[in-house]
Amino acid sequence: MESWIIAGMNDTTQNPTQTAEQAPALPDRLSIDPKSPHHDADVFKRPVGIRFNGKERVDVEEYCVSEGWIKVAAGKTLDRKGRPMLIKLKGTVEPYYQDA
C-alpha cells in the first residue's frame, strides 16, 4: 500500500524548462486506496504531502479539503477485508506536492 510522503514546501524558484512537465492539480478529495473512487494514480507520480492543523502528517489514508477532514488508520486494527480501520479527524487540510 502506498503511503504519503511528507517533507518541506515546494520550491517556487524552478527553472521554466522544468515546469513543462507539470503535475496535475491536487484534487479536493484524494485517497491512496486504488479501489476508492477518489484515487487518482496520476497525482501519485509525484510525492504528495499533507499538512493537517499546521502539522505535517505521514499517516493519512484519505483527505477532503472542502469538508476539512483526513482519515488515518486506527492503530493496527483491520476490517474484515484486511484493510486498516480508519478514523476521521476534522481540521484544516493543506495538500501539496513535495519537491523531488
What gap in Å lies between CA 10 and CA 64, rounded to an integer?
20
Structural contact between residues 49 and 55, judged by C-beta atoms closer than 8 angstroms = no
Examine the pLDDT at 16 and tell me if it is beyond 80: no
94: number of Cβ within 10 Å: 15
The whole-model pTM stands at 0.73
Confidence of residue 19 (pLDDT cuts 50, 70, 90): very low
Q: Which pairs from 77-85 meet CB under 8 Å and 24+ separation?
A: 83/33
Examine the pLDDT at 12 and tell me if it is beyond 50: no
Tell me, what's the pLDDT at 30?
95
Confidence of residue 24 (pLDDT cuts 50, 70, 90): confident
Residue of higher predicted confidence among 7 and 42? 42
